[in-house]
């Protein structure tokens, strides 16, 4: 699989390798690219890579012994003193002569902990007395989830020895645009809206360019009783929680449009307090995000809060697959396919807003626009909403952005309606002394009249994908 993005994380590993001590925990959700990152870092180094299995401690020690012998170049070159006790094998590895710093990478370290919780004490002792004194860099790879939480809570002495912790998040859209082979912006936007920034899932849609091709692939992999991705979100949820039923209900309600605790509770038939508890767990897992309006009413004592599914794969599945799951497993995908055809473009719009924020922040950082936002978010109240609001307190500028993912061009009339809407929002008047910069993010080319207006008018920014059209840019 091609190595996509991860420049910052790779640099963190390189910096750790160059430092005096390097005992690293690399964590992230399933298929996020932990192994690929570690292997990319290990390339060209004296590294022993071992992937633990979901088997007994004895069997893992035997497997590690074999990996060590292979690392040494075969049994004839391995030390005659080889033993499969962890402490002895780690000492042999640390003492083995080399021309540069050695690296020990243990993937699926969680399986070692499950087989024998005492392994944490063994590795803590080995780090302090064997690996660290011999300048060995250690990278332990674990999935984010209940085991990692238990390690953090119950093994503070082990966690306290770590010199670095790298938690992998999904690859960003901008990284995807830089590194992933693609035909155009819309192709990547559809890919990202379906499976997000999880590398393993991209392979299912690598040959898709047009919407019809994505729809066909969705039918094969999601809406098929034998599809590879039909049950993938179920596994993600059930691997992390004890009773998935309530979580399925909450996520389904959110996918249908419920965004507040009260609305979600009403749709599920749960009490508000119960939903708050469930939401707390989903937030800690990174499956949902909590959003507040960036600008509040003056003298407001409570912020408007909305919750959204933060994982595109989960959002897509609960929107289009979960409502028809029983029919799909019975080989009847007609209803699900009809709902997909009717709502796919509107569904992408929600993720297009998140991508637009990312593009805006990159443009600010690269100084290609006349504003550098200190804070970026959205505005919403019971009556209206603005997709993107950015505040630049240094220059005293207020950025107001509209997002449109659709089949037709964004027109000058659309822009004027957006400006008029912003003028009517009383909360924005708190920034009456700030210069306003209006931006429009669209997946299709803009109407010619709007393009001409933007090229002649100050503080109007048109983003067509990642291309910016403006008098200021």
CATH of the domain at 103: 3.40.50.300
Contact 259, 306 (CB under 8 A): yes
Alpha carbons 24 and 13: distance in angstroms, whole number: 9
Following DSSP, what letter does each residue of 301-340 receive, concatenated?
SS--EEEEE--HHHHHIIIIIGGGHHHHHTT--HHHHHHH
Structure tokens at 219: 């039918």
Alpha carbons 281 and 286: distance in angstroms, whole number: 9
Q: In this structure, are 404 and 380 located in the same domain?
A: yes
Look-up: residue for tokens 């393993």?
200
Vertex 202 angle, CA 199 and 205, to 5°? 175
CA distances from 336 to 244, 252, 420 (A): 23, 15, 38
Q: In this structure, are 150 and 58 located in the same domain?
A: yes
- Given 310, 325, 351, which residue is the final one in a domain? 351
Answer whether residue 361 is part of any domain: no
Q: Which domain holds residue 384?
A: 367-469
Helix, strand or coil for residue 106? strand
Please, is 79 exposed, middle or buried when counting C-beta atoms within 10 Å of its C-beta (0-12, 13-18, 19+)?
A: middle
Answer whether residue 362 is part of any domain: no
Q: In this structure, are 146 and 255 located in the same domain?
A: no
Structure tokens at 198: 């999880």
Q: Which residues of 30-57 are buried (b: 16+ CB within 10 A; e: fewer)?
A: ebbbbbbbbeebbeeeebbbbbbeeeeb
Give pLDDT, residue 298: 45
Answer whether residue 69 is part of any domain: yes
Q: In this structure, are 328 and 409 located in the same domain?
A: no
Alpha carbons 344 and 340: distance in angstroms, whole number: 5
- Given 167, 183, 209, which residue is the final one in a domain? 167
List the 460-464 sheet strands across, edge first: 375-380, 385-392, 397-404, 435-442, 460-464, 467-469
Q: What is the CATH number of the domain that holds 195?
A: 1.10.10.10
Answer whether residue 304 is part of any domain: yes
Please, is 462 exposed, middle or buried when counting C-beta atoms within 10 Å of its C-beta (0-12, 13-18, 19+)?
A: buried
Please, is 141 exposed, middle or buried when counting C-beta atoms within 10 Å of its C-beta (0-12, 13-18, 19+)?
A: buried
Q: In this structure, are 135 and 225 located in the same domain?
A: no
Q: In this structure, are 187 and 87 located in the same domain?
A: no
Answer whether residue 218 is part of any domain: yes
Answer whether residue 359 is part of any domain: no
Alpha carbons 323 and 335: distance in angstroms, whole number: 10
Give pLDDT, residue 132: 96
Alpha carbons 291 and 307: distance in angstroms, whole number: 6
Contact 180, 42 (CB under 8 A): no
Give pLDDT, residue 80: 46
User: At 304, phi and psi to the nearest 5?
Assistant: -70, 125
Helix, strand or coil for residue 460? strand
Alpha carbons 13 and 389: distance in angstroms, whole number: 35
- Given 122, 138, 167, which residue is the final one in a domain? 167
Look-up: residue for tokens 């800690």?
284
Q: What is the CATH number of the domain that holds 420?
A: 3.40.1350.10
Nearest to 63 by CA among 73, 50, 72: 50
Q: In this structure, are 111 and 234 located in the same domain?
A: no
118: Cβ contacts below 8 Å, ≥ 6 apart: none
Alpha carbons 191 and 316: distance in angstroms, whole number: 11
The domain tally of the chain equals 3
Alpha carbons 473 and 462: distance in angstroms, whole number: 10
Structure tokens at 152: 């953090």
Please, is 283 exposed, middle or buried when counting C-beta atoms within 10 Å of its C-beta (0-12, 13-18, 19+)?
A: middle
Q: In this structure, are 240 and 113 located in the same domain?
A: no
Answer whether residue 1 is part of any domain: no
Tell me the residue length of the chain: 473
Q: Name the stretches of the chain with pLDDT < 50.
A: 76-77, 79-80, 298-301
Q: In this structure, are 275 and 421 located in the same domain?
A: no
Answer whether residue 357 is part of any domain: no
Q: In this structure, are 195 and 257 located in the same domain?
A: yes
Q: In this structure, are 245 and 134 located in the same domain?
A: no
What is the torsional sign of CA 363, 368, 373, 379? negative
Instruction: State the alpha helices, DSSP H only, in 366-462.
Output: 412-424, 448-456
User: At 466, phi and psi to the nearest 5?
Assistant: -105, 5
> What residues pair up with 440 in beta bridges, in sequence order?
402, 462
Q: In this structure, are 250 and 115 located in the same domain?
A: no
């Amino acid at each position: 699989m091609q190595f996509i993005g991860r420049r910052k994380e790779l640099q963190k590993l390189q910096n750790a390798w160059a430092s005096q001590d390097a005992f690293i925990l690399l964590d992230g959700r399933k298929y996020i690219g932990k192994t690929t990152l570690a292997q990319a870092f290990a390339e060209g180094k004296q590294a022993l890579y071992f992937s633990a299995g979901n088997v007994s401690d004895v069997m893992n020690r035997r497997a590690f012994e074999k990996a060590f012998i292979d690392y040494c170049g075969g049994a004839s070159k391995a030390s005659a003193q080889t033993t499969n006790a962890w402490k002895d094998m780690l000492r042999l590895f640390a003492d083995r002569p080399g021309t540069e710093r050695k690296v020990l990478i243990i993937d699926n370290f969680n399986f070692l902990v499950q087989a024998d919780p005492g392994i944490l004490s063994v590795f803590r002792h080995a780090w302090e007395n064997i690996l660290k004194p011999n300048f060995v860099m250690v990278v332990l790879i674990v999935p984010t989830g209940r085991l990692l939480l238990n390690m953090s809570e119950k093994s503070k002495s082990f966690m306290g020895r770590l010199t670095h912790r790298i938690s992998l998040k999904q690859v960003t859209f901008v990284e995807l645009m830089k590194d992933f082979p693609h035909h155009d912006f819309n192709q990547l936007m559809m890919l990202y809206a379906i499976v997000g920034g999880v590398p393993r899932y991209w392979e299912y849609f690598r040959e898709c360019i047009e919407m019809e091709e994505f729809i066909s692939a969705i039918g094969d992999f999601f809406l098929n009783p034998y599809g590879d991705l039909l049950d993938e979100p179920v596994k993600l949820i059930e691997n992390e929680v004890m009773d998935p039923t309530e979580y399925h209900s909450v996520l389904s309600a959110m996918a249908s449009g419920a965004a507040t605790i009260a609305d979600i509770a009403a749709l599920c038939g749960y009490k508000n307090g119960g939903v708050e508890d469930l939401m707390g767990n989903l937030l800690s897992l990174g499956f949902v995000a909590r959003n507040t309006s960036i600008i509040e009413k003056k003298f407001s004592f409570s912020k408007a809060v909305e919750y959204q599914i933060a994982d595109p794969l989960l959002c897509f599945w609960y929107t289009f697959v979960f409502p028809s799951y029983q029919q799909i497993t019975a080989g009847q995908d007609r209803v699900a396919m009809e709902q997909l055809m009717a709502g796919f473009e509107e569904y992408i719009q929600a993720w297009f807003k998140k991508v637009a924020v990312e593009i805006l922040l990159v443009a600010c950082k690269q100084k290609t626009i006349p504003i550098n936002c200190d804070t970026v978010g959205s505005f919403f109240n019971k009556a209206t909403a603005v997709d993107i609001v950015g505040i630049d307190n240094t220059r005293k500028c207020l950025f107001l952005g509209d997002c449109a993912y659709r089949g037709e061009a964004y027109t000058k009339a659309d822009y004027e309606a957006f400006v008029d809407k912003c003028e009517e929002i009383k909360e924005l008047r708190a920034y009456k002394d700030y210069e306003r910069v209006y931006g429009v993010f669209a997946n299709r080319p803009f109407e010619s009249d709007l393009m001409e207006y933007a090229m002649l008018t100050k503080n109007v920014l048109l983003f067509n994908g990642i291309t910016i059209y403006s008098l200021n840019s």
